[in-house]
Amino acid sequence: MREKLVAIAPFVRSCPRVVTLGVQTSMGDYTPAQRRMLLCASQILFPTPRFAGILHAAGKRTFPSAISYSILRSRLIQEVLFQLLKCPRPFTRIYYGRQKNSILEDFSFPFRAMGPKMPGSALRVCDNIELKALAEIYNPLIVQESLDYQDRFLLIFVNYQCIGILGKISGGEQDGFKENIARDCFNGEIVSYLENLFRSVQINDVAAQIGIIRGGCRVIELARPPLWRPTPEGAINRFDYISHMIESNMF
Give the integer Cα–Cα distance in Å for 209 and 119.
14
**103 or 250: which carries more pLDDT confidence?**
103
pLDDT-derived band at 244 (thresholds 50, 70, 90) equals: very high
Give the residue-averaged pLDDT of 46-63.
Answer: 96
Q: Is 104 helix (H, G, I), strand (E, B) or coil?
A: helix
Averaged confidence pLDDT in the chain: 93
pTM > 0.85: yes
Q: What is the pLDDT of residue 152?
A: 94
Q: Is residue 197 predicted with pLDDT exceeding 70?
A: yes
Domain boundaries, the chain: 5-63, 91-145, 151-247
β 161-169/5-7 pair status? unpaired
pLDDT-derived band at 215 (thresholds 50, 70, 90) equals: confident
Measuring CA to CA, how many Å separate 92 from each of 15, 47, 111, 217, 218? 42, 32, 10, 15, 12
- Any idea which fold 91-145 has? Dna Ligase; domain 1 (3.30.1490)
pLDDT-derived band at 1 (thresholds 50, 70, 90) equals: low
Angle at 86 (CA atoms; ends 200, 182), nearest 5 degrees: 65
Q: Is residue 158 predicted with pLDDT exceeding 70?
A: yes
Q: Is 5 helix (H, G, I), strand (E, B) or coil?
A: strand
Q: Please provide the DSSP assignment of 186-245 as one string.
A: S-HHHHHHHHHHHHHTT--EEEEEEEEETTEEEEEEEEPPPSEE--TT--EEHHHHHHHH
**CATH level 2 (architecture), domain 151-247:** 2-Layer Sandwich (3.30)
In one-letter notation, the amino acid at residue 80 is V
